[in-house]
A and B are shown apart, each in its own frame.
Chain A
């Protein structure tokens, strides 16, 4: 659904991430405080949003995946090097045409309702996701061109696709393709969205209770013995209980953390960071989100931004550094590429390659013929003012104070003689204008642990008028063929090459103005040790323990 940066699918390939010295997107564990893990205790983790639906197969919300990770395991896991490791599947084989994936499953795994996890469970779950009646908002797209699962024997499942589907292993590592017990699907299939004990998985915790508007409780699955390969804790979780508390108000979350009422607080806003770092009992865990940075996408399909010179002028004429620094107190990193540094395939070649340059921007605008000025000081050409339409999302959708950041950019562009209009309408009008190609600028981020996000953002087929997200409205031949090539190959060198070229060309054509890398900022009581962060920058509690 809506308030999300769907953490979606996509391909694999670990080695590619080493490219360009970029950060690893994978699991990191917090310090262990020097001691050995202790069993027992309970922890409260306060988050800022509450899932609309707890059905992982239906929801596209980050928060749903984050929370359900506690009760769901996946076929494979993505490790610190970005490589895929055995989890519920002991091993797997991918056919040469990338159309068939055969998984050999562990035989000792049980759902928490006592039923065994087997190939039939894989089939039941994937079929349910694929069925349009499930109305999946994300998981179905993670399954791509799925055609079916064959139960070869109890511990062998063969998943087939109608076209080569390289992104499948990464997709299979997400909680959205996690497994409900077939028994609960049969008995509670239409109630899974409501959360609570009906959400039966194989994971380290049992979803024991849910109070809407309040909290979700998870208790230890004592039988848990199938952590992903490489996990620090191979057995059942140390914690007796994990409570996820929904506290939308950031000052309340931080206040509850600093006063010791909770142990972890998600989404600590930059202005509150000092309250956490200044407290000797607290630590701050920051993880850059992988995927698409928060960027402005320039609509090339109509004047004035159909002129590359004007686009480049806008790109160089906004002071990204100053805006990001002053608004986020240095907590979020300024971006140079549309791709987050925490993503495989990120290229560092773009860093510092297009600095703020007011003079250069003015020169470009002169060259583009916007040489005269009107009474209000705005540039004109043939009697028309240089005006850019950049709609604001309705207030409820605005995050990270992006509206205020936009005001800074608006002021920068005014200095160049460009008028920026920022109408704020209802969401229906916003979608109609921005996704219908009537606006000049769209701005968003798109978390996803895979460079294939560039396909979504720049491929010619990803037209927003047809459900895509390419708000540049440009079907550039190179961008399209490179992003197509990237998703159809398992060759790391090839992928690194094409995705690097995509990032450079998108900047060179002035299609995009990367602004900052969205960052998960979690405040944590130092007494909580062993919290790990996965490839999506989500916290994992299987190895967490509470110092006495």
Chain B
């Protein structure tokens, strides 16, 4: 017993170090890919930055190039860029006259609020839909699978406008103009949540049905648990595990969806910022968004691992 604890600690430490190295590798890869993708766009970077319709003189072009180091060779720019990244400096936006970290900092809050609300909504809707209909036949199930199919296949851009037309323009329940506060979060979060809920519900139902067919479900019933108790306490836990494999997809959907939702609803956030920076060729900001996204993916996969441990005791050391 006495030797076990340090061994376990060492194992945990090693696992932690490996995990950290993985994170660093992922971030470095993402940073490098983003840098290369943007650096290899054909054409003179300053001209691209200014766009075709400008009357900026050569003197001003030179000043812009010098300010952002665009006049130096690619490898020098890459090394300088990595050096800055290591110290946590994401550089300065080409267009906004502000450090990228400040730009991201402003945008991240509204997006996190939107994404978290959407996830909570999506998970709630999915659980309700799946638990109510798993293993059953009939009209309710037909309705549930029907809406899931529609939610998954509708373009969320169109969906958002539909919600706005009904609940904001017609019924005037939610403002599009106020734009701030919890009330203004409802429709955007719903737009983002519904397609996710659709997929989650389908996966969850399939998992529930598989779990309910397992011997332990029969045993639990035999011990006198009600149908509902079996579903909620035992089967749901089993069915939740496959959701973890969807985490990457979920993160992608949240970030990609934010671009559309934030544009439709005129909300601030990372999605709107990503779109604007891409259009303005604001490379430092774009790279910053790529890095933040990579971080989100890494963090999410760590969270999902923890979630696995929570729902499946067999995985615990």
Q: Which residues of A does B touch, CB under 8 Å?
A: 1-6, 8, 44, 46, 50, 52-53, 55, 58, 60, 132-133, 135-138, 140-141, 190-194, 211-215, 245-249, 251-252, 255-256, 258-259, 261-262, 393, 396-397, 426-432, 434-435, 444, 446, 456, 467, 469
Cβ–Cβ contact B56 & A444, under 8 A: no
- 10 smallest CB-CB distances across A and B, nearest first, come from A213-B268, A2-B51, A428-B43, A259-B169, A193-B97, A247-B266, A255-B169, A428-B42, A141-B55, A132-B63
Cβ–Cβ contact A426 & B161, under 8 A: no
Other A-B pairs beyond A467-B55, A467-B56, 15, CB < 8 Å = A1-B51, A3-B279, A46-B177, A132-B60, A138-B54, A140-B57, A141-B56, A190-B97, A194-B96, A194-B98, A245-B179, A249-B161, A261-B176, A444-B52, A444-B53
Q: What residue of chain B has the Cβ atom nearest to residue A50's Cβ?
A: B276
Cβ–Cβ contact A252 & B279, under 8 A: no
Near A by CB (< 8 A), chain B positions 249-275 give 262-269, 272-273
Inter-chain residue pair count (beta carbon < 8 A): 177
A43 to B61, CA, bound (A): 39
Cβ–Cβ contact A191 & B97, under 8 A: yes
Cβ–Cβ contact B107 & A212, under 8 A: yes
A378 to B111, CA, bound (A): 53
Taking a contact as CB atoms closer than 8 A, the residue among B53, B64, B98 that contacts A5 in the complex is: B53
Central interface residue in A135, A432, A469, by most chain B CB within 10 Å? A135
Q: Is B47 an interface residue (CB 8 A)?
A: yes
Interchain Cβ contacts under 8 Å between A and B, 30 examples: A1-B50, A2-B51, A2-B54, A2-B279, A6-B53, A50-B276, A53-B97, A58-B97, A132-B62, A135-B63, A137-B50, A138-B55, A141-B56, A211-B179, A211-B180, A211-B268, A213-B269, A245-B266, A247-B266, A256-B169, A259-B168, A259-B172, A427-B48, A428-B41, A428-B42, A432-B42, A432-B43, A435-B52, A469-B53, A469-B55
A1 to B64, CA, bound (A): 13
A138 to B292, CA, bound (A): 33
Cβ–Cβ contact A4 & B63, under 8 A: no
Q: What residue of chain B has the Cβ atom nearest to residue A211's Cβ?
A: B268
Q: Give the distance to chain A from B54, nearest Cβ to Cβ, in Å.
A: 6
A53 to B190, CA, bound (A): 32
Which of chain B's residues have a CB closer than 8 A to the CB of A4? Answer: 51, 53
Q: Give the distance to chain B from A20, nearest Cβ to Cβ, in Å.
A: 27
Which of chain B's residues have a CB closer than 8 A to the CB of A214? Answer: 179-180, 266-268
Which of chain B's residues have a CB closer than 8 A to the CB of A397? Answer: 51, 279
Whether A1 touches B169, Cβ cut-off 8 Å, given contacts A214-B180, A252-B176, is no
Taking a contact as CB atoms closer than 8 A, the residue among B43, B110, B165 that contacts A213 in the complex is: B110
Q: Is B59 an interface residue (CB 8 A)?
A: yes
A261 to B48, CA, bound (A): 38
Cβ–Cβ contact B168 & A213, under 8 A: no
Which of chain B's residues have a CB closer than 8 A to the CB of A247? Answer: 176, 266
- In the complex, per-residue mask of B85-107: 1 if CB is within 8 Å of any chain A CB, else 0: 00000000001111000000011
A429 to B47, CA, bound (A): 11
Cβ–Cβ contact A52 & B176, under 8 A: no
Cβ–Cβ contact A1 & B42, under 8 A: no
Q: Give the distance to chain B from A450, nearest Cβ to Cβ, in Å.
A: 13
Q: Give the distance to chain B from A446, nearest Cβ to Cβ, in Å.
A: 7
Cβ–Cβ contact A213 & B169, under 8 A: no
Cβ–Cβ contact B280 & A52, under 8 A: yes
Near A by CB (< 8 A), chain B positions 163-178 give 164-165, 168-170, 172, 175-177
Cβ–Cβ contact A261 & B168, under 8 A: yes
Q: Is B303 an interface residue (CB 8 A)?
A: no
Which of chain B's residues have a CB closer than 8 A to the CB of A246? Answer: 266
Q: Is B278 an interface residue (CB 8 A)?
A: yes
Taking a contact as CB atoms closer than 8 A, the residue among B57, B97, B175 that contacts A467 in the complex is: B57
Cβ–Cβ contact A431 & B52, under 8 A: yes
Which of chain B's residues have a CB closer than 8 A to the CB of A259? Answer: 168-170, 172
Q: Is B281 an interface residue (CB 8 A)?
A: yes
Q: Is B3 an interface residue (CB 8 A)?
A: no
Q: What residue of chain B has the Cβ atom nearest to residue A462's Cβ?
A: B55
Taking a contact as CB atoms closer than 8 A, the residue among B50, B64, B106, B264 that contacts A252 in the complex is: B264
Q: Give the distance to chain B from A501, nearest Cβ to Cβ, in Å.
A: 24
Which of chain B's residues have a CB closer than 8 A to the CB of A446? Answer: 53
Which of chain B's residues have a CB closer than 8 A to the CB of A3? Answer: 51, 279
Cβ–Cβ contact A194 & B97, under 8 A: yes
A434 to B180, CA, bound (A): 43
Taking a contact as CB atoms closer than 8 A, the residue among A52, A251, A430, A467 that contacts B58 in the complex is: A467
Cβ–Cβ contact A213 & B60, under 8 A: no
Q: Give the distance to chain A from B207, nearest Cβ to Cβ, in Å.
A: 37
Q: Is B137 an interface residue (CB 8 A)?
A: no
Taking a contact as CB atoms closer than 8 A, the residue among A58, A215, A248 that contacts B179 in the complex is: A215
Cβ–Cβ contact A137 & B60, under 8 A: yes
Whether A213 touches B267, Cβ cut-off 8 Å, given contacts A52-B96, A141-B57, A255-B164, is yes
Q: Give the distance to chain A from B189, nearest Cβ to Cβ, in Å.
A: 16
Cβ–Cβ contact B43 & A255, under 8 A: no
Q: What residue of chain A has the Cβ atom nearest to residue B272's Cβ?
A: A213
A135 to B96, CA, bound (A): 12
Which of chain A's residues have a CB closer than 8 A to the CB of B47? Answer: 428, 431, 435
Cβ–Cβ contact A256 & B56, under 8 A: no
Which of chain A's residues have a CB closer than 8 A to the CB of B43? Answer: 427-429, 431-432
Q: Is B67 an interface residue (CB 8 A)?
A: yes
Q: What residue of chain B has the Cβ atom nearest to residue A446's Cβ?
A: B53
Central interface residue in A3, A6, A190, A248, by most chain B CB within 10 Å? A248
Q: Give the distance to chain B from A364, nearest Cβ to Cβ, in Å.
A: 31
Q: What residue of chain B has the Cβ atom nearest to residue A192's Cβ?
A: B97
A53 to B280, CA, bound (A): 11
Q: What residue of chain B has the Cβ atom nearest to residue A393's Cβ?
A: B52
Q: What residue of chain A has the Cβ atom nearest to residue B53's Cβ?
A: A4
Central interface residue in A3, A137, A258, A469, by most chain B CB within 10 Å? A137
A426 to B63, CA, bound (A): 25
Cβ–Cβ contact B52 & A252, under 8 A: no
Q: Give the distance to chain A from B292, nearest Cβ to Cβ, in Å.
A: 16
Which of chain B's residues have a CB closer than 8 A to the CB of A212? Answer: 106-107, 268
Q: Give the distance to chain A from B157, nearest Cβ to Cβ, in Å.
A: 8
